[in-house]
Amino acid sequence: MKDDLHLANKISNKHINYAKAKMNVRLAAQTLSNSVADAIDFMREDEHHPDFINSEATCQFIRNIDQLFNLCNSRNPIANGLKSKVDGVNLKWKTSFFRKLCNYLKELTDKDGKPLVEDGEHLFLVSSSQLSLYVEFVKISSQDKKTLLSMF
């Protein structure tokens, strides 16, 4: 890919060549965003670019990670959807959605069909203990008539 090609307004060379910034969450959130998935879809479906053939699974992965980031980063008390505050009203829905995303991550495989969860070097895994902790925080917050603005 050329250095002057930007798939989305925030994607630059540092996003593509990320070796020096592997632990930069902001960079990961920008790279794994719906706008990037939309740009890939555009290149595949509208431009018929050969580098984007069979990129549907990549777009699904990006969108799922974007949703997970949104679910785990609910800081705005008046936001809607995945970015909304966590309270007793939406606990069941958010927990179910969180489980769905965790199951998706657990089912990912490499090109040879080997589950990525067996290769701890290449995939973070959201554990069931983190989900349980999340549910307990929300239950406590709900009892005190408080809301949880961020899971992590």
Q: What is the DSSP letter of 85?
A: P
Determine contact, residues 105/120, Cβ cutoff 8 Å. Answer: no
Give per-residue pLDDT as tens, 4-18.
Answer: 555 545 567 776 777
Nearest alpha-carbon partner for 125 in 97, 151, 104: 104
pLDDT band at residue 125, thresholds of 50, 70 and 90? Answer: low
Domain ranges of the chain: 1-72, 78-152
- Helix (H) or strand (E) holding 26, with range, is helix 25-31
pLDDT surpassing 70 at residue 120:
no
pTM here is: 0.76
Determine contact, residues 7/40, Cβ cutoff 8 Å. Answer: yes
Q: What is the DSSP code string of 48-76?
A: --GGGTT-HHHHHHHHHHHHHHHHH----
Structure tokens at 69: 């980031």
Q: What is the DSSP letter of 109?
A: B
Give per-residue pLDDT as tens, 39-98.
Answer: 999 999 999 999 999 999 999 999 999 998 888 887 777 888 888 887 777 888 888 888
